[in-house]
Homo-oligomer: A and B are copies of this chain.
C-alpha cells in the first residue's frame, strides 16, 4: 500500500488521470460547528430576515468549492456541474450541521470539492459569530458518500466510531 500522490522516488506529483474515463461523479461531505446556545439562537433569529448567517455561509461554501484546486496542491482542476449546500440548526447538539453535494462529469472525483465547501461554510459561520463566541469548534468534517469512477459507490458506515459529533 502506498500513496498515489508520490512517484516511486517519493516526489509529489499531480497524478496522471488522462486515461481515466470522464464519467458522472458525485460526492457528499458533512461537518459541524458547535457553539454556545446563545450563539445558535442569534443565528436562528437571523434566519427570520435580518443577519442571514447561514445564507452567507452557503454562498461562501459554493464559492470555496470552485477554488479547491487552488488550495489543495495536488488536486486536479475540474469543471463542476452542481454544488448544493444544506445548513441545519441542531439544537440538541448546539451546533450547525453542513452538508455539501458536488457533482462533475470528469476524470476524477469531487470529494475534495465537497469537503472544501463544508470547511469554508463552517469557517464563514465562525467568522460571523466569533465576536460573541470565540470558543466555537468545527468538527467531524468528513466524506459521507461518493459515486462514479472506477472505485464505484462508497458510503460511510453509520456505525463507525466517528459517526456523530
Contact = CB atoms under 8 A, between A and B. Distances in A.
- Copies per assembly: 6
Contacts of A50: 6, 9-10
A interface SS class? mixed
Interface centre among A17, A67, A116, A134 (most CB of B within 10 A): A134
Chain A interface bracket (under 10, 10 to 19, 20 to 34, 35 or more): 35 or more
Nearest to A51: B6
Contact of A71 (B5, B67, B128): B67
Interface of A: 1-7, 9-18, 24, 31, 34, 38, 42, 46-53, 55-56, 58-60, 62-64, 66-67, 69-86, 103-107, 111-112, 115-116, 119-120, 123-124, 126-132, 134-143, 146, 154, 156-157, 160, 162
17 contacts: A5-B51, A5-B128, A9-B50, A11-B85, A34-B162, A47-B49, A52-B55, A56-B74, A60-B72, A62-B74, A74-B128, A76-B81, A78-B79, A115-B126, A135-B142, A137-B140, A141-B141
